[in-house]
Amino acid sequence: MMELIQKPVFWLFVFIIGAAVVRKIARSLDANSGGKVKKLPNEPGFMDVVKNPEEWQQQMDDEDRALQQAIRDAKKWSDKQVEDAVRYSVFKSPDLGVGSPDSKIMFSLETRTHAPLLANLSDARARSKLLETKRRRGLPEAPFNRICYLLHENPPNEAVSLLIPFLDDKSERIRKDAALILATIGSDEVIAPVRKALSDENEDVIGGALTGLVRAIDQKRLSAACRHELFEDLQRVLAEGKDGYSASVLFQFDANRATQFFLSDDVLTTKTKDLHEILGLLFENNIHVSRDRLLVLLGELNKVGLEYPHDYQFKEVLKLLGRHQKPDDREIFEKYLSHDDKYIANSAAIGLLASHGVEEESVWSVARERGFDASTEPQRHYFTVIEMDGEVNNGGLTQYFFNSGGDRWKTALAGLEAMKFKERLAIFREAIALFGRKGPSTNRNRRMVQLSELPTDNDKDLSDLDNQYYECKEHVAVLAMRYVLSNPEAFR
């Protein structure tokens, strides 16, 4: 994989343990006391986990059991208890953020929260209180925002008339959340209010409406009338460059109409602010763009310079150009493999791969289909080097050796050698040497113990090595690509 950050499946694999480490369960609703708050232990820092893995695991297990019991209790609440809990969550809860115990308990109640939430929205006397903003978790938040948060997973159509007045509020965040829920509802009744939100002067409000429309599509709630009536509104948002996300939404609305629009002379030009988003969609969906048009775009981009957003446009053009598999174009890709901008260099690598008939995605699909142990040596080298690079860039060498990917460090080392790395190879060897003559254990449990026993000074040594790694000039994607091309049959 050349641009690791764009692969959510891989990041899920890499960070599943890291997510558990940093998970915050600071408070839990006590179902038997009508909304009292029970304090739970403070969350550990990453090095606390490394030094005391068993103690951390026990704490997390205890907290999870307490939360699951609270959820079971909540499901037995009477309607009055649900109403009280909703009011507490909307107006008093210290933390109703994503993943918080309070929010998990409330979401476990599913549609039972709808009636009391809508009752709060419809109470004209409470309107001013709904809009009172306080700073929580560093962000301004009003009870109205909390109502929208609790509604966002499955908002009822009855909320439409109650939410429309909030599109006129002076607060951009209030308008944004109102737009998000209205668009998520996706019924014929939201066409006019969503159109209004898409014309808002604030881009966050427009973004809220776009996010809601995507949710409506994903949940199969978006009506045919919405798709038809709002398509031109989305075209206008894209043409005005107000939100690059609109290109993706437009494509999901109607792929054929969107493709015709994207390939039009008015849109497929460097003057289009969000051209890189459009080109990215065309690439991801294997939509043909003529070689002549791509070469014209490259020429225009070289004239205007590769500053943002033209650098992003340039890299997408390179990727699409590779799909034409013309040997004459390989000189272009080679020219940009050593570019200072790593994203341009990575895109040149993807383009060069494609020009040889090897798609970046196919490199990973081979590994997924066969499994790591059944993969060939070149595949294992590629996978472990990209895996290591991703983890180190996200959380340092400590995270790499802490996580299960560290089990494969010997293969990663062999991969760095096979790919002819120099700087990164030297740094990785230094990190391995910190574990002693035999290096880190390939058994995760034993390696965690080794990490916990490293002298304090060595924590700083790993940090120093992290900094050296981040400053390396070697492009991982480029060297990995050259390795793939030297072993093409292993990746087809």
Give pLDDT, residue 308.
86
Nearest residue to 111 via CA among 157, 143, 155: 155
Give pLDDT, residue 489.
79
Residue 145 has pLDDT above 90, yes or no: yes
- Phi, psi values for residue 173, rounded to 5°: -70, -35
As to burial, measured by CB atoms within 10 angstroms (0-12 exposed, 13-18 middle, 19+ buried), residue 258 is buried
Q: Would you place residue 341 in the very low, low, confident or very high pLDDT band (cuts 50, 70, 90)?
A: confident
Interval 446-460: pLDDT, tens: 998 898 888 765 555
Give pLDDT, residue 343.
84
Give pLDDT, residue 51.
62
Q: Would you place residue 38 in the very low, low, confident or very high pLDDT band (cuts 50, 70, 90)?
A: very low
Residue 24 has pLDDT above 50, yes or no: no
Residue 362 has pLDDT above 80, yes or no: no
Which amino acid does the sequence have at 361?
Answer: E
Give pLDDT, residue 460.
56
Residue 74 has pLDDT above 70, yes or no: yes
Least-confidence region, from 116-120, 125-129, 332-336: 125-129
Q: Reduced to 3 states, what is the DSSP secondary structure of residue 415?
A: helix
- Looking at residues 412-441, what average pLDDT do you find? 96
Angstrom distance (rounded) from CA 353 to CA 359: 6
- DSSP string over 277-345: HHHHHHHHTT----HHHHHHHHHHHHHH-S-TTHHHHHHHHHHHHHTT--GGGHHHHHHHTT-SSHHHH
Give pLDDT, residue 50.
62
Nearest residue to 123 via CA among 75, 152, 86: 86
- Containing 11, the helix (H) or strand (E) segment is helix 8-22
Q: Would you place residue 55 in the very low, low, confident or very high pLDDT band (cuts 50, 70, 90)?
A: confident
Give pLDDT, residue 351.
92
Least-confidence region, from 34-43, 77-86, 244-253, 372-381: 34-43
Give pLDDT, residue 53.
66
Least-confidence region, from 209-218, 291-300, 356-365, 452-461: 452-461
Residue 137 has pLDDT above 70, yes or no: no
Residue 2 has pLDDT above 90, yes or no: no
Angstrom distance (rounded) from CA 396 to CA 388: 10
Q: Would you place residue 373 in the very low, low, confident or very high pLDDT band (cuts 50, 70, 90)?
A: confident
Q: At what angle do helices 79-91 and 114-122 cross, to 10 degrees?
A: 50
